[in-house]
Structure 1
Amino acid sequence: MISTNVSSIQANQVMLNANANNVANVNTDGFRPTDVRMTNGANSSVEANLRLADDTGSAKSQTDLAKEIPDQIVGVSVAAVNVEAIKTQDEMMGTLLDIKA
């Protein structure tokens, strides 16, 4: 179960990195942002799939801050939830080992 939480944290880190790059290039003419899709991988893992956003033909940056900022909030929140889940699993495992000993 911990491996699922770890893969989710890693996938969200990929998403946050792409998101940060998109925001950093909001004023770069002709910039096409990276779009991230989360998918289920093997063994209940979470994977981040990257692709360039569709080209709108704009000479300006195609980064949409109305999408990027909420995505940052979601990414940080998902990471925090997964960290808490890992901590709880670790505490439960320690308690089970104490009971057995």
Structure 2
Amino acid sequence: MYRLIQTVQQYFDLVFSQENQVCSLFSRLLQEISKRVHIDRINQDIESGYQSGVTVAPALFINRVRYTERWNIEQLKAAINHHYFLGWIF
């Protein structure tokens, strides 16, 4: 019984430790957002998206080619295979 209690205590210690780490990271993120720490990088990413032809989010690219077909597993597999083999040809 003691071993079970000890194991449960270790589990809770781990969970609360991770929870505290997540809370700390989330708090840091909120502070950085409020201070606009990442605004230049965000604007660069937005501009890069516009230049790549992104008009809505999310946008999917396969080997730097925008994928505009339906997002189902079979069509995605076919597109990935197509672009993979094209990469070997060119």
TM tier relative to shorter chain: 0.3 to 0.5
Task: State TM-score, norm by structure 1.
Answer: 0.35
Larger C-alpha radius of gyration, 1 or 2? 2
Structure of higher RCO (CA pairs closer than 8 Å, 6+ residues apart)? 1
TM-score, normalised to structure 2, is 0.39
